[in-house]
Amino acid sequence: MWAAIRELGRSGVAGLVERTCGHARRFAEQVAELPGCEVLNEVVLNQVLFRFADDEETSRMLAAVQAGGEAWMSGTTWDGRAAIRLSVSNWRTTEADVDRTVEAFARARRVVSDSKSDT
């Protein structure tokens, strides 16, 4: 932290925090539009907690996005159910990165939906 403050200064650190929080809000707004997706937290910092229709679908969506390599986020449990936790913490993250991550979830959603209709 000392090195970041020393390099960026107070306004630089404030800008970094604002950007990462803004990217998290952007991600939450966009991912919430995917069918069956529920954002579980009010996004006030840099983290988004969300899930899909059920635990199996949430786990499959997370695994598909992780396997695709577009972005990495972790699985967790919230209120006894599977959820996904995304933290925006890299200073190099851009709006385009956020949009690509949402698109990765949209692609995964199509794959998961198609596999459900095959059964």
CA distance 94 to 97: 5
List of E strands, the chain:
38-39, 47-51, 74-78, 81-87
Report pTM: 0.89
Across the chain, what does the average pLDDT equal?
92
Q: What is the CATH number of domain 2-117?
A: 3.90.1150.170
Choice between 3 and 44, residue whose per-residue pLDDT is larger: 44
Domain spans, the chain? 2-117
- Reported as a single tens digit per residue, the pLDDT across 20-53 is 999 999 999 999 999 999 999 999 999 999 999 9
Give pLDDT, residue 42: 97
Q: What three-state secondary structure class fits 44?
A: coil
